[in-house]
């Protein structure tokens, strides 16, 4: 395995140590970014007269040729992607290639490459998030006047619009999207020029390189620049949070798909069967998304543990951040893509949901508020409705089947108009606060969501 750090060592590296130490099997993913960083750095060396004009052009053009022949390079012979680029460049253009690393370290280079890689991936993930959010909004719009039980403690609580339920997941993903913007801005600083840890003996213009490579600014402290992996941890946290939100949605899809609920129907193309039981139609996609969430948590904890107690500046431990990052990027893109298609192929079974709406006890809060509007204190109204529920259970009745005299036995404030409450639309539209499940505010949420998706970059 070819090395760029020959000279001090008299022995060849042990074969097993070679394999254990090498990172090229995974960091070759950064090849493109190492090339781009190298081109910007060659220009910076030219501007301070370390490289002549023809040398700079030879290096820049050589790097471009390397990028074009990436698929032909045997990466396995190298320790890491940086060694691969440097040695392959020298093979291609001669000894002038050896000048590229002047004043540069793999420490500031790998941090630069990783940031550039993650910035590009974040742009792609933002698009995928928006696509999924668009699907949720469209789904909610179609069901803003479809009604279902809302739950707390997985028990019937109050009636809500199906669209309102779907928009709750849009809101989670909107927070995730905004968090991703924050992470992008927090990492948008160029480490290149920080050297191994102390800076460079060559006054390369870091801000010019930053602009050339698409960074908004340069890092402030060279020690921190080469040892900082906060941006990796930020992304691991972000991906864990997105996975948690999609896992919650998956869990509800699994529950609502069960025979006990039958609220939704999953398209045949997005379900699997049993090898033994011919009757089965399993929600495997939702189950896998739920299951993969544990991997995101594991990588987050591994990342946090990786940097815990590391002395400054660079340590080889930091090589292990990339498998964690790359796998989270890949898995996140996978679940965002499949969840989007999955949701587009789910049908709401309105008839089954309507059956559950016959549980009139979900109108209990509405009945209490009815009494409040007639002058009773809420706590007293709460107690009366509680007694009413107990009466109905004991007599095997529901609110909708009570006679007016039965209601008036508990309070003279009850009148015939109380029966107007017992309709899903009446219950949901009685909610007056912004963000609630009424048709008015669900419609406003949908409009706001569409505007966000239209104007957010």
**Residue positions annotated with a catalytic role:** 153, 274
Is residue 191 within 8 Å of residue 219, measured between CB atoms?
A: yes
153 φ/ψ sector (left φ>0, alpha ψ -120 to 50, else beta): left
Written in H, E and C, the secondary structure of the chain is CECCCCCCCCCCCCHHHHHHHCCHHHHHHHHHHHHHHHHHHHHHHHHCCCCCHHHHHHHHHHHHHHHHCHHHCCHHHECCHHHHHHHHHHHHHCHHHHHCCCCCCHHHHHHHHHHHHHHHHHHHHHHHHHHHHHHHHHHHHHCCCCEEEEEECCEEEEEEEHHHHHHHHHHHHHHHHHHHHHHHHHHCEECCCCCCCCCCCCCCCHHHHHHHCCCCEECCCHHHHHHCCHHHHHHHHHHHHHHHHHHHHHHHHHHHHCCCCCCEEECHHHCECCCCCCCCCECHHHHHHHHHHHHHHHHHHHHHHHHCCCCCCCCHHHHHHHHHHHHHHHHHHHHHHHHHHHHCCEEECHHHHHHHCCCHHHHHHHHHHHHHHCCCCHHHHHHHHHHHHHHHHHCCCCHHHCCHHHHHCCCCCCCHHHHHHCCHHHHHHCCCCCCCCCHHHHHHHHHHHHHHHHHCC
Structure tokens at 457: 């970059």
For the record, the structure tokens of 432 come out as 């007056």
- Is residue 126 within 8 Å of 180, Cβ to Cβ? yes
Task: Confirm if 114 and 228 have CB atoms less than 8 A apart.
Answer: no
Burial degree of 132 (CB within 10 A; 0-12, 13-18, 19+): buried
- Could you tell me if 330 and 295 are in contact, meaning their C-beta atoms sit under 8 angstroms apart? no
């Amino acid at each position: 395995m070819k090395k760029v750090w020959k000279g001090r060592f008299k022995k060849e590296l042990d074969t097993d140590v070679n394999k254990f130490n090498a990172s090229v099997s995974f960091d070759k993913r950064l090849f493109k970014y190492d090339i781009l960083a190298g081109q910007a750095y060659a220009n910076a060396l030219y501007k301070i007269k370390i490289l002549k004009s023809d040398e700079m052009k030879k290096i820049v053009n050589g790097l471009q040729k390397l990028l074009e022949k990436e698929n032909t390079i045997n990466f396995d012979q190298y320790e890491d992607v940086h060694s691969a680029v440097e040695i392959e460049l020298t093979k291609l253009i001669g000894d002038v290639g050896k000048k590229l690393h002047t004043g540069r370290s793999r420490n500031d280079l790998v941090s630069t490459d990783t940031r550039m890689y993650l910035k590009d991936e974040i742009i792609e993930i933002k698009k995928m998030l928006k696509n999924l959010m668009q699907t949720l909004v469209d789904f909610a719009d179609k069901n803003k006047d479809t009604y279902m039980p809302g739950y707390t403690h997985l028990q019937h609580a109050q009636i809500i619009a199906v669209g309102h339920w779907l928009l709750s997941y849009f809101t989670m993903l909107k927070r995730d999207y905004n968090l991703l913007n924050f992470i992008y801005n927090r990492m948008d600083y160029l480490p290149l020029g920080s050297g191994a840890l102390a800076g460079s003996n060559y006054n390369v213009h870091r801000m010019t390189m930053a602009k050339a490579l698409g960074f908004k600014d340069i890092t402030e402290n060279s020690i921190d620049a080469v040892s900082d992996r906060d941006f990796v941890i930020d992304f691991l946290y972000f991906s864990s949070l997105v996975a948690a939100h999609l896992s919650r949605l998956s869990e509800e899809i699994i529950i609502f798909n069960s025979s006990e609920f039958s609220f939704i129907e999953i398209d045949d193309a997005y379900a699997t069967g049993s090898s033994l039981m011919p009757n089965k139609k399993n929600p495997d996609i939702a189950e896998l998304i739920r299951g993969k969430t544990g991997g995101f948590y594991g990588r987050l904890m591994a990342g946090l543990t990786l940097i815990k107690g590391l002395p400054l500046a660079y340590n080889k431990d930091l090589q292990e951040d990339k498998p964690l990052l790359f796998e989270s990027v890949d898995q996140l893109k996978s679940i965002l893509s499949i969840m989007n298609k999955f949701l587009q192929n789910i049908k709401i079974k309105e008839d089954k949901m309507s059956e559950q709406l016959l549980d009139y006890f979900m109108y209990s809060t509405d009945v209490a508020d009815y009494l409040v509007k007639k002058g009773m204190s809420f706590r007293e109204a709460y107690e009366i409705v509680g007694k009413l529920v107990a009466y109905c259970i004991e007599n095997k009745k529901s609110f909708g089947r009570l006679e007016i005299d039965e209601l008036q036995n508990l309070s003279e404030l009850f009148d015939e108009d109380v029966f107007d409450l017992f309709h899903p639309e009446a219950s949901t539209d009685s909610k007056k606060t912004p963000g609630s499940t009424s048709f008015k505010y669900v419609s406003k949420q949908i409009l706001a969501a569409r505007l966000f998706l239209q104007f957010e970059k």
